[in-house]
Structure 1
Amino acid sequence: MSLETDLLVDRRRLRRKLSLWRVAAFLAAAVALVAVLAVGGGKDLLNKRADHIARVKIAGFIGDQTANLKLFDDIADSSAKAVIVKINSPGGSTSGGEALFDGLRKLSGKKPTVAVIDGLGASAAYMAAIGTDHIVARRSALVGSIGVLVQFPNVGKLLDTIGVKMEEIKSSPLKAAPNGFEPTSPEAAAALASVVNDTYGWFKGLVKERRGYDDAALGVVSDGRIFTGKQALDLKLIDAIGDESAGIAWLEKDKGIAKDLPVQDWEKPSDSRSLFFAQALAALADKAGLPILGSLLASPTAPPGALDGLVSVWQPQAQK
């Protein structure tokens, strides 16, 4: 065997050994990262096994509630003695609010619950609040906006200006109507209004039942406007003015919850935590000399699609 051949064989052996050590180093670092995350999660798990008050946060736009509903089920089966639902949200999809309401009514059958509206509890967020046993809000919080909304643009004039015409063939006149490319027909507007009014009537029925209104009182609070916490208390949309401590005081006084129980945050799985984990592994792969694996791990997941459907959301910029 020639000297050049020997050198080539030795080089290939060295590359194989080096690749093996790189993979081993990556796996060791990955195991260490998992261990660090597990230690933090283990401490949290130990805290939740002791008696405590669970705190759940509902913030931002209310959309799909699969993760929160799973969280409610976990709390129901836990050592939590009560639940604080901390709300700061303008609302969101009506179906998301419905899911929260149903989930919180189910949870309230097993644990006493109190909603604390920190800054904003409107529309679908208020729908969630009335799913609890008691509602507390700050005096300056914004509460209410009971209603249902469908919005769609009409760009027909713009298309005429630039010389674009949309053509379509559909099974019936009300299919995909309104479509935003032409004036909405009276029939399409009436059909959509019937959907909005049906859901609006259902929303008002929830409020009437949960807050004990007669028809006259319900009419005052359900015209879509928002109220301050003080106004909401006077109108019986909420039960008390205060913050989280007021909610805890009510749990202790009215529900017999032991004094000075620790409050433990319960959080749904975080996309940001998963992204951090993936990015950390990608960095480890790059350092270990495995760039292809690193690029695969670092690829982000596509965000969810655009909102479509009925919404119960407070939109101050759209008010007239």
Structure 2
Amino acid sequence: MSLDADLIVERRRLRRALTKWRVAAVLAAAAAIGALVVGLDGPGFVEKRQAHIARIPITGLIRADRERLKMIEEVAKSGAKAVIVAIDSPGGTVTGSDSLHTAIRRLAEKRPVVALVEGMAASGAYAAALGADEIIAGRNSIVGSVGVIVQFPNVSGLLDSVGVKVEEVKSTPLKAAPSAFVPTSPEARQALQSVVDDSYAWFKDLVKTRRSLDDSLAQTVSSGRVWTGAQALELKLVDRLGDQEAAVAWLAETHGIDKTLPVRDWQASRSATDEIRLSTRVLAWLAEAAGWPVLAQNLRTEASALSTTLDGVLAVWHPPAGQ
């Protein structure tokens, strides 16, 4: 065998060995990072059993979240003597908000619960706050937006301008209505309005009952607008103004909770989709570091495709575009 042939064989052998080591390094790094991520979720077993005040953060858009509901059930079985539900959320889906409210009410039957509006408790997030025994808000927190909404795009005009028509065959006129591809019919709009009205009636009744409001005040606070914490106090949407220190003081005054107990954050385990998204991003970074740019780009594309959307009837607040 010639010297050149020997060199070619040797290079191929080294290349295969290098590839194996790269794959092993990527897998080892992914496993290590995965173990670290899992270890960062919530307080440890020993801390959960010790006496403390549990702090449950409610942030971002609220949606159906089985892991968070499971975590709330675990708080009731832990060493937590009381609970602070710290809220900074514009709301979310009606179903998710309703489920969260119900879970907090069940928790309140076993532990004293105070809701603390740290930044915003609007729409569905305020519905969640109504599950607590007491609601405390910051002076300039955003509170309210009692109402529901259904939003959907309509691109039929755009399709007409480019000469595209979407045809469909369906069982009944209201099946899959509304559609982004055709103008919304009066019947479809009426059907959606009935859904919105029913959810809105649930929300208004919840506010009226939980806050012990008369009909006139209940109508005022259910206008769909938001209020500052100070305004919400005058309207009886919150019980007092303050921060976490005020929440702990209320627990001590009304339930005899030891103010020196540590306040510990509880975090729900990540959903399967969140875990896959995180793992995919980690693998993309490792693939880039290993010199596989094409694989890295494909992994990033997959991670972006896993974005969660909010569908259906929403109880959510956001400022108008441009503000």
After TM superposition, the score normalised by the length of structure 2 is 0.81
**Equivalent in 303, 306, 311 of residue 308 of structure 1:** 311
State the partner residue of 1:204: 204
Give distance in 1, aligned partners of 2:288 and 2:70. 36
Q: What does the per-residue CA deviation read over 1:110-149, in whole Å, with 9 as the maximum and x for residues that have no partner?
A: 1111111111110000000001111010011110000010
2:318 maps to a residue whose letter is Q
Give distance in 2, aligned partners of 1:100 and 1:255. 24
State the partner residue of 1:232: 232
- Does residue 97 (structure 1) correspond to residue 97 (structure 2)? The answer is yes
Q: Secondary structure at the match of 2:320?
A: helix
| 1:129-168 aligned within 5 A | 129-168=129-168
State the partner residue of 1:127: 127
Change (3 A) 1:173 1:266: same
State the partner residue of 1:54: 54
Give distance in 1, aligned partners of 2:172 and 2:245. 57
Change (3 A) 1:31 1:206: closer
Given that 2:62 and 2:93 are in contact with CA atoms closer than 8 Å, whether structure 1 keeps it comes out as yes
| 1:21-60 aligned within 5 A | 44-60=44-60
Q: Secondary structure at the match of 1:316?
A: coil
Q: What does the per-residue CA deviation read over 1:137-194, in whole Å, with 9 as the maximum and x for residues that have no partner?
A: 0011110000010112222322222222222222222222222333322222111111
Change (3 A) 1:207 1:29: closer
Give distance in 2, aligned partners of 1:305 and 1:39. 24
Change (3 A) 1:255 1:286: same
Task: Give the CA RMSD over aligned residues.
Answer: 3.6
State the partner residue of 1:80: 80
Give distance in 1, aligned partners of 2:280 and 2:177. 43
* Unmatched 5+ stretches in structure 2: none
| 1:175-186 aligned within 5 A | 175-186=175-186
2:141 maps to a residue whose letter is A
Deviation of 1:216 after TM superposition, in Å, equals 1.3
Q: What does the per-residue CA deviation read over 1:53-106, in whole Å, with 9 as the maximum and x for residues that have no partner?
A: 011111111112211101101111100111111111111111110111011011
Flag the structure with larger Rg. 1
1:107 maps to a residue whose letter is L
| 1:208-227 aligned within 5 A | 208-227=208-227
Given that 2:53 and 2:81 are in contact with CA atoms closer than 8 Å, whether structure 1 keeps it comes out as yes
- Does residue 66 (structure 1) correspond to residue 66 (structure 2)? The answer is yes
Q: How many residues align?
A: 316
Deviation of 1:282 after TM superposition, in Å, equals 8.5
Change (3 A) 1:59 1:14: closer
2:143 maps to a residue whose letter is V
Identity %: 50
